[in-house]
Structure formats: structure tokens, C-alpha cells
């Protein structure tokens, strides 16, 4: 085509070669970089940073308590345990401090490459977002809600407020915090079993009257007894074999253990009224374990004696499953008049509450462990403990089992964004028939312009501001980073509207080329076109760019594309700043709520559009350049042409504001934005010059495709 040249393929080949070399060379995995001195800046005195764990990259943070140091928290970097790529293609690095009970002491952002926060919203909203985790528990399935979700009634224990215009990024941060915390919890805190997310409830309608002897015979109530002889055997070699006076067969500890939320157990032990009250207080999905000490309250090995604190996590009694300790806390229920079944011995007792989030599955074997503690030494005493356990195995048919979490974390984003997905699917379903069956609407010179303007308005309002689905070169940069460094592309799944739109755009490139997205579904492109239409009353004359200059400027966007991807592949910190050549973040993602240089740049491009129609799209847009290159795989030359187009008729060329029609009438598809003006003209017998001439001579002519260059 005269005057239309393809971008240099040599430069593209060089870029591909450079990316390939970097891919082969960069095999290092990312890891945390804080050393002991670096951590000390975040945990100043009276806290002390202990020695790094020999196995896990975890640092104990110690606090002096009663003359000795106790673990205040375990500090670690999320990137060491959960290097989940963010929307920029690289994982955020968060400093997490996890208390021994699984509570978040602190969460801070060490580094990130999230585009919406880099020179966008700024990092302050992200810093405030992670502060919400302080005081929450890693044992709970924490979700990212809408902005101000907590104030609107969402649970403050399981929900953190999201950030408008940063949905995908905050979900990635949340997943990084929880995944890394659970990894540390499994290794250091004894919880975080694979059952997290599993909901197991006792069947409320399954009840059988049973006495204590029958419950013991079935193994539904278990008894743990420890004699003086057994304790001496356990402490052999410590010098603490003897403890007090008494016969070897004297019982030191005598515990009865039962899962109360099973009606055939709890109702028989507590009585109907007390059982119903307990279940109301317990709530659905949670579990209650009764531990009754049959020995006297002043016995030295009674774990529920006077030193036991109601409402606390017992120090000596624990519930475990699969080798991990399950969080169980005393419910502090009323002890008097408990209505315990006849036959249960008198003694101190507790009901331990196990929340559903702990991943406890009572339908598989679990254990109750009693720690017997002895001390040696008078000045610097040393505590020696030995564990004594009893296992409970209950029939699986007593329980309902179901998954409380339907799929991985990113599925929550898809459920939350379902309305946006439906809206985008509806727009695509409306657009495709218009492009395929042109004569039904495109050929109508009166109705089609109204349809197009309305569609573009919806693109700006819904796709841009509503669904936040403005596609960007940042996604391609993220793909490069992921391919060369993390090899993890899951970050795409956290932004469902954009991913669905990307899928359609890639398909449309093969059929129709770049213009389907750039001319119809790009919010900033649609905004430019609407502003140009609104500016018509101003009668601003478009600047005619000289052909030679026009062709040179069209190549600039390919240079920008190559520069951005090369800088990204090389790991240059300037890559994210260079991506600001796109005004999408300023105009669409952040709704112009940005510092004045960025706003001035975006507004300047919109003003330029009044004089050089969609000048940014034609000359600077790196995303458009990438789509234009991919669009060369197009299999259809689908815009109809006539043999008279270009010779002698030049009407479509003159009307094309993009300069995408050559003098010989051929369509330059990489530069075509599918405004469809030329299609309307060629189907309109009142506008198409060859048809007007043919009608005067009583001839009939038919449009036919003319191959594009």
C-alpha cells in the first residue's frame, strides 16, 4: 500500500532474542533481604531479635518477662514463603510478625511493584490496608471486602476493608499475608493443618439415649489416667522420677474427654436444657470438647485445679490432630447446675471451644494431651514436661462434611466481580453481531452513529470506571516479569474483568485485528472519541499531519513498546515510571485523582485529540503497538472494498480521520480503529460514489474485498 509501511521486523526479532537470553540467564529466585540488624529497626527495645531459625527463614522476637525472655512474635518476610506475583508481575514483600497464638502483631510493606500504588494512589493507602491485619488471627479465613465493608456490617475478625480502584492488588496482598502466615504457623506454631477451610458439623437430628458406661464402651467418651509408676517411667533419666509420696499405682491424673456437639454425647452428658444452651452459644461449625478431672482439685497433677484460668487457653491440656495442636479455648460457661449425667464423677471440668477456622475434623482421630510438668533446680529452675495422650475416634456417620471454601483464594474475586463479568459479556455479545452482520446496523447512516456513541459511553462508564477493566501495557510488563523471574501467572486471575476482556481481545485480533479493542472497548480511546464529538460545536479544525511526518510518528509507539518491554526484562527500576506514558491509570483507574503533572499530561492528550484525532492512540500507545503487531496474524480482510476504491474514488480515504486508508483504497488494518465510517459509506447508495455513478448508468455493482498489505 502506498505510503503505508510495516514496523521494522528486525527490531522485533532483536527484542525477542534479548528476552530469550534474559530468560535463560535469570534463574535466581527472589528471597527476603532483611538481616538481624534490619529487623531490629522494626522491633526496637525492649524487644530483642533472636537467632534466626535453622530450618525456616523466621526470626523470633523476644520480650523480657519476669526475668526471662519469652517469644513475643515470629517475624518473617512473605516473599520467603508465598512469592505470589502482584499485578506488576513481581511478588510484594511484606514483613509479618505473628504471635505464638497466631495473632498478627504487625504487617508492614517492605517493597512492592503494584502499578496502582506506584505514582498512582501512592503507597499510603497500601500501608493503611495492611495495618488492618494487626489483631486479627491467621486461624481465620480473612477476606478482602468492599471499601468500608466493616462499617457496613462485615465481620471485623474475618474481613479487611478493600481499596477502591485497587481490587486485584489488595487480593494479592491478602493472599500473600495469609499464605505466608499459615506456612509459618505449620512449622512454628502447630496449627494450619490441611483441614483449614473444611466445615464438619455433627448431625443435629441423630440422637440415641446412652449412659456413661455405654459411651465409654463405644469409645465416644474417653478416659486418660496416669499413674505414679507411668509418670516415673516417663521422667526416667531426668532425676525427677520420684515426685511426692504414695504407692506406684496411685493415679496422678484422671481425665474424662468427650466431644459435646454430637447430640448422642453432649445431650446425654449435659442434659437437654444445658445441651441446647451450649449449642446456641457455640454456633454453627464450631466444636466443644469437655475435659473433666476426676481427681481432687488440690492434686498436684490436676490440670484444671485452682491455677486454671477460665476463658483462657489451657497451659497443660491441648487438643491435637494430624500432629498439630488445634486452638482450643475455655468457653467460661457456668459451672453450677451443669446437669452432668448421673455416673460422671465429681471434679473440675472445662468445655474447650474449637472454632471452625481451626480446621479441626472430629470425624477423624484426634487426641487430648495432658502435660505433666516437674521442675529441678532451685536458683535457675528448669521445667521438664512429659505428654500423656488419649485418642478419640468417632464414627464418620455422626457428621456432615463439606468445604467451607470453594476453591483457591482467587475464586473469591470471580464471585465478587460476577456483575462486572456479566456486563462485559453482554457488551461483547452485542458488539460481535454488529461487526459480523454489517448490513443490519452499520450500513444505516442514521442509526449506526447513535449506536456507536452510546456504546462508547458505556465503555467509558462501565468498562472503565465501573468494572475497572482498562487494559494496559502494565499487564504485558507483568507477563514479562513473571516469565523471566517468578514463572507464576496467577496474578492475572485476581482481576477477572480484565482477564475476560483480554481473552476476547486476543480472539478478535485473529479475526479482525487491533481495532476491535482500540476502537470499541478501550475506555480511554472511547473517552477521546466522545470528547471530540462533544467538541464539534467548537468547530475546531483537525490538523493535517504531513504524510512523511505521520508515518514517522506512527513508528514511535513501536519504539515505546520495545523500550518498555526491554527495560522490564532487564529489571530496570525505571520501567514502571516509563509505563506512565500511558494515561490510563490517571484518567480511568484513578479518575484523575492524582498529582497535577500526571493529570496535566492526561488532560493534555485529551485536548490534543481535538486537533490531532486520537493522536495518542495513533502515535504513542504501547499497548496499541503490541496489539497491532499481534493483529498481523489476522485471517480476514473483512472490511469491504470495491475495485473503484482509490481509483478513482477517494471518499473513504478523505473521511478516515485515522489515516488508515491508503491512496489506492486498501485498509491498513494495524492502524484501523474500526469506526466503521467507511463501511457505512460503501453500503450507502447515497454516499458511495461508485454506486451513485452506477445508478446513473443503471448498473449494479457489488463490494468485494481488496487484500491489505
Q: What is the mean pLDDT of residues 476-502?
A: 84
Same domain, 428 and 289: no
Beta bridge partners of 293: 255
Closest alpha carbon to 120 in 560, 485, 602? 602
Predicted pLDDT at 462: 94
The residue to which cell 481495532 is assigned: 515
pLDDT at 3: 36
* Predicted confidence (pLDDT) at residue 245 exceeds the cutoff of 60: no
CA distances from 26 to 20, 63, 111, 480, 481 (A): 10, 41, 20, 12, 11
Spatial distance between the Cα atoms of 422 and 441, rounded to a whole number of angstroms: 24
Which residue bears the cell 487491533? Answer: 514
The set of cell numbers assigned to 143 is 477476606
Q: What's CA 606's distance to the chain center, in Å?
A: 33
Domain boundary among 574, 603, 638: 638
Q: What would the grid cell of residue 413 be?
A: 474475586
Distance CA 686, CA 329 (A): 83
> Is 17 part of a structural domain of the chain?
no
What's residue 28's pLDDT? 37
Is residue 648, in this structure, part of any structural domain at all?
no
CA distance 457 to 443: 21
Cα distance between residue 1 and residue 661, in whole Å: 9
Residues 235, 316 share a domain: yes
The continuous run of DSSP H or E covering 65 comes out as: strand 59-65
Q: Is residue 146 part of a domain?
A: yes
What is the rounded average pLDDT of the residues 466-479? 89
Residues 229 and 107 in one domain: no
Amino acid 306: pLDDT: 65
Count Cα neighbours of 447 within 13 Å in the Cβ-side half-sphere: 8
Do residues 345 and 471 both lie within one domain?
no
Could you report the per-residue pLDDT of 627-680, keeping only the tens digit for each? 999 988 888 788 888 878 888 888 888 888 888 888 888 888 888 888 888 888
pLDDT at 552 over 80: yes
Q: Do 551 and 505 lie in a common domain?
A: yes
**pLDDT on residue 381:** 59
Interatomic CA distance for residues 586 and 580, integer angstroms = 9
- CA 395 to each of CA 78, 205, 223: distance values in angstroms, whole numbers, following the listed order: 40, 15, 18
Beta pairing, strands 68-77 & 93-98: antiparallel
pLDDT the model gives residue 6: 41
Which candidate, 191, 319, 305, 332, places its Cα nearest to that of 257? Answer: 319
Reported as a single tens digit per residue, the pLDDT across 421-462 is: 999 999 999 999 988 888 788 888 888 899 999 999 999 999
369 three-class SS: strand
In angstroms, rounded to a whole number, what is the distance separating the alpha carbons of residues 525 and 521?
8
- Cα–Cα distance, 51 to 61 (Å, whole number): 9
Residue 30 pLDDT > 60, yes or no? no
What is the distance between the alpha carbons of residues 175 and 172, in angstroms, rounded to a whole number? 5
Can you give the residue range of the structural domain that contains 114? 31-189
Q: Report the distance separating Cα 696 and Cα 685, nearest Å.
A: 11
Contact in structure between 460 and 587 (CB atoms under 8 Å) = no
Model pLDDT, residue 10: 46
Going through 207-355 in order, the beta strands assigned E by DSSP cover 221-227, 251-259, 287-293, 317-321, 324-326, 329-330, 349-354
The domain total for the chain is 3
The DSSP string of 341-366 is PTTPPPS-EEEEEE-GGG---TTS-E
Predicted confidence at residue 659, as pLDDT, reads 84
CB contact burial 294-312 (16+ within 10 A = b; e otherwise) = bbeeebebbbbbeebeeee
Quote the CA–CA distance of 232 and 253 in Å, as a whole number. 13
Identity of the highest mean pLDDT range in 119-128, 576-585, 588-597: 576-585
Can you tell me which residue has the cell 512474635? Answer: 73
Same structural domain, 48 and 140: yes
Q: Rounded to an integer, what distance in angstroms lies between the CA atom of residue 561 and that of residue 549?
A: 19
Is the model more confident about 135 or about 691?
Answer: 135
- What DSSP string runs through 558-594? HHHHHHHHHHHHTT-TTHHHHGGGS-HIIIIISTT-S
168 and 230 co-located in one domain:
no
Residue 614 Ramachandran class (φ > 0 left, ψ -120 to 50 alpha, else beta)? left
Arithmetic mean of pLDDT, 342-367: 80
- Does residue 696 sit within a domain? no
The angle formed by the CA atoms of residues 243, 247 and 250, to the nearest 5 degrees, is 85
Q: How confident is the model at residue 337 (pLDDT cuts 50, 70, 90)?
A: very low
Residues 168 and 245 in one domain: no
Return d(Cα 360, Cα 190) in angstroms, integer.
Answer: 13
Residues 249, 157, single domain; the answer is no
Residue 138 has pLDDT above 60, yes or no: yes
Of the residues 189, 223, 258, which one is the last residue of a structural domain? 189
Answer whether residue 29 shows pLDDT above 50: no
- The answer to whether residue 542 is domain-embedded is yes
- Say if residue 485 is in the same domain as residue 627: yes
pLDDT at 142: 82
Residue with more model confidence, 420 or 158: 420
Nearest to 274 by CA among 255, 257, 288: 288
> Are residues 425 and 358 located together in one domain of the fold?
no
pLDDT band of 247, cuts 50, 70, 90: low
Cα separation, 458 vs 441, in Å, equals: 18
Cell digits of residue 342: 448421673
**Picking from 124-128, 341-345, 367-371, which range would have the lowest pLDDT averaged per residue?**
341-345
pLDDT reported for residue 453: 94
User: Cα dist. 41→34, 49, 575, 615, 634 in Å?
Assistant: 10, 10, 30, 50, 57
User: Does residue 136 fall inside a structural domain?
Assistant: yes
Whether 435 maps to a domain, the answer reads yes
Tell me the chain's radius of gyration from C-alpha atoms: 35
Taking the CA atoms of 262, 264, 267 and 272 in sequence, report the sign of the dihedral they define.
positive
pLDDT at site 501: 94
pLDDT tens digit sequence for 261-282:
999 999 988 888 888 888 888 8
Does residue 364 lie in a domain region? Answer: yes
Q: How many residues does the chain have?
A: 709
Asked if residue 584 lies in contact with residue 524, where contact means CB atoms within 8 angstroms, the answer is yes
- Looking at the predicted structure, is the pLDDT value of residue 24 above 50? no
pLDDT digits (tens, 9 = 90+) for 168-207: 788 888 888 888 888 888 777 765 544 555 678 899 889 9
Q: Are 221 and 391 in contact (CB under 8 A)?
A: no
pLDDT at 582: 93
Does residue 180 sit in the same domain as residue 258?
no
Which of 612, 638, 664 corresponds to the end of one domain?
A: 638
Q: Give residue 615's Cα distance to chain centre.
A: 36
Query: In 3D, which of 302, 303, 311 has the Cα closest to residue 330?
Result: 311
Q: Under a CB-based contact definition with an 8 Å cutoff, are residues 682 and 641 in contact?
A: yes
Any idea what DSSP says for residue 464? Answer: I
Task: Name the nearest CA neighbour of 506 among 492, 494, 485, 488.
Answer: 492
pLDDT of residue 11: 42
How large a percentage of the chain has pLDDT more than 90? 24
CB neighbour list of residue 182: distance below 8 Å, 6 or more residues apart: 138, 192, 196
Give the list of residues 6+ apart from residue 485 with CB closer than 8 angstroms, or none. Answer: 26, 30, 89, 90, 571
pLDDT higher than threshold 50 for residue 26: no
Amino acid at each position: 500500500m502506498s505510503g503505508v509501511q510495516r514496523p521494522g521486523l528486525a527490531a522485533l526479532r532483536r527484542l525477542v532474542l534479548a528476552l530469550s537470553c534474559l530468560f535463560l540467564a535469570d534463574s535466581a529466585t527472589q528471597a527476603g533481604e532483611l538481616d538481624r540488624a534490619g529487623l531490629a529497626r522494626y522491633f526496637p527495645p525492649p524487644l530483642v531479635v533472636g537467632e534466626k531459625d535453622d530450618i525456616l527463614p523466621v526470626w523470633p522476637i523476644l520480650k523480657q518477662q519476669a526475668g526471662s525472655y519469652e517469644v513475643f512474635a515470629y517475624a518473617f518476610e512473605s516473599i520467603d514463603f508465598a512469592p505470589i506475583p502482584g499485578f506488576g508481575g513481581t511478588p510484594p514483600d511484606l514483613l509479618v510478625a505473628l504471635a505464638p497464638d497466631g495473632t498478627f502483631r504487625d504487617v508492614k510493606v517492605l517493597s512492592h511493584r503494584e502499578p496502582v500504588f506506584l505514582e498512582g494512589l501512592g503507597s499510603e493507602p497500601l500501608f493503611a490496608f495492611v495495618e488492618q491485619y494487626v489483631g486479627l488471627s491467621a486461624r481465620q479465613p480473612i477476606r478482602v471486602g468492599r471499601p468500608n465493608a466493616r462499617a457496613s456490617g462485615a465481620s471485623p475478625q474475618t474481613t479487611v476493608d478493600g481499596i477502591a480502584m485497587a481490587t486485584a492488588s489488595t487480593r494479592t496482598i491478602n493472599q500473600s499475608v495469609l499464605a505466608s502466615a499459615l506456612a509459618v504457623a505449620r512449622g512454628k506454631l502447630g496449627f494450619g493443618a490441611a483441614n483449614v477451610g473444611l466445615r464438619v458439623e455433627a448431625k443435629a437430628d441423630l440422637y440415641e439415649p446412652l449412659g456413661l458406661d455405654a459411651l465409654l464402651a463405644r469409645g465416644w467418651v474417653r478416659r486418660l489416667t496416669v499413674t505414679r509408676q507411668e509418670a516415673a517411667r516417663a521422667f526416667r533419666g531426668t532425676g525427677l522420677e520420684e515426685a511426692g509420696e504414695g504407692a506406684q499405682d496411685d493415679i496422678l491424673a484422671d481425665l474424662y474427654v468427650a466431644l459435646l456437639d454430637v447430640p448422642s454425647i453432649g445431650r446425654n452428658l449435659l442434659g437437654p436444657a444445658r445441651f441446647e444452651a451450649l449449642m446456641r452459644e457455640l454456633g454453627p461449625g464450631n466444636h466443644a470438647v469437655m475435659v473433666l478431672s476426676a481427681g481432687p482439685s488440690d492434686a498436684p497433677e490436676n490440670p484444671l485445679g485452682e491455677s486454671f484460668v477460665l476463658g483462657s487457653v489451657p497451659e497443660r491440656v491441648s487438643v491435637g490432630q494430624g500432629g498439630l495442636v488445634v486452638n482450643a479455648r475455655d468457653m467460661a460457661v457456668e459451672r453450677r447446675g451443669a446437669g452432668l449425667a448421673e455416673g460422671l464423677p465429681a471434679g473440675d471440668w472445662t468445655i474447650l471451644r474449637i472454632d471452625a477456622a481451626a480446621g479441626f475434623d472430629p470425624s477423624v482421630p484426634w487426641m487430648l494431651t495432658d502435660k505433666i510438668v516437674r521442675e529441678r533446680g532451685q536458683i535457675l529452675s528448669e521445667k521438664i514436661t512429659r505428654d500423656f495422650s488419649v485418642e478419640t475416634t468417632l464414627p464418620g456417620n455422626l457428621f456432615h462434611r463439606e468445604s467451607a471454601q470453594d476453591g483457591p483464594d482467587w475464586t473469591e474475586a470471580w464471585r465478587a466481580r460476577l456483575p462486572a463479568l456479566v456486563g462485559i459479556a453482554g457488551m461483547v455479545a452485542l458488539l460481535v453481531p454488529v461487526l459480523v452482520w454489517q448490513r443490519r446496523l452499520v450500513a444505516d447512516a442514521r442509526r449506526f452513529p447513535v449506536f456507536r456513541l452510546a456504546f462508547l459511553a458505556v465503555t467509558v462508564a462501565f468498562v472503565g470506571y465501573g468494572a475497572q477493566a482498562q487494559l494496559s501495557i502494565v499487564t504485558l510488563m507483568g507477563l514479562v516479569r513473571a516469565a523471566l523471574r517468578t514463572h507464576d501467572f496467577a496474578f492475572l486471575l485476581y482481576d477477572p474483568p480484565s482477564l475476560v476482556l483480554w481473552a476476547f481481545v486476543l480472539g478478535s485480533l485473529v479475526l479482525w485485528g487491533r481495532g476491535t479493542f482500540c476502537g470499541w472497548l478501550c475506555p480511554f480511546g472511547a473517552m477521546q472519541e466522545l470528547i471530540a464529538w462533544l467538541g464539534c460545536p467548537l468547530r475546531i479544525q483537525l490538523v493535517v499531519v504531513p504524510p512523511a511526518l505521520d508515518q514517522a510518528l506512527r513508528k514511535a509507539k513501536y519504539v515505546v513498546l520495545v523500550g518498555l518491554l526491554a527495560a522490564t526484562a532487564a529489571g530496570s527500576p525505571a520501567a514502571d515510571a516509563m509505563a506512565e506514558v500511558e494515561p490510563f491509570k490517571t484518567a480511568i483507574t484513578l479518575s484523575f485523582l492524582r498529582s497535577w503533572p500526571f493529570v496535566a499530561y492526561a488532560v493534555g492528550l485529551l485536548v490534543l485529540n481535538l486537533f490531532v484525532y486520537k493522536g495518542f492512540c495513533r502515535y504513542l500507545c504501547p499497548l496499541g503497538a503490541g496489539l497491532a503487531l499481534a493483529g498481523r496474524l489476522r485471517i480476514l480482510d473483512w472490511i469491504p472494498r470495491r475495485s473503484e476504491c482509490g481509483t478513482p474514488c477517494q471518499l473513504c480515504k478523505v473521511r478516515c480521520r485515522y489515516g488508515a486508508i491508503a491512496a489506492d483504497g486498501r485498509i491498513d488494518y494495524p492502524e484501523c480503529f474500526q469506526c466503521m465510517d467507511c463501511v457505512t459509506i460503501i453500503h450507502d447508495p447515497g454516499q458511495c460514489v461508485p454506486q451513485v455513478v452506477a445508478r446513473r448508468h443503471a448498473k449494479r455493482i457489488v463490494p468485494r474485498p481488496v487484500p491489505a498489505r
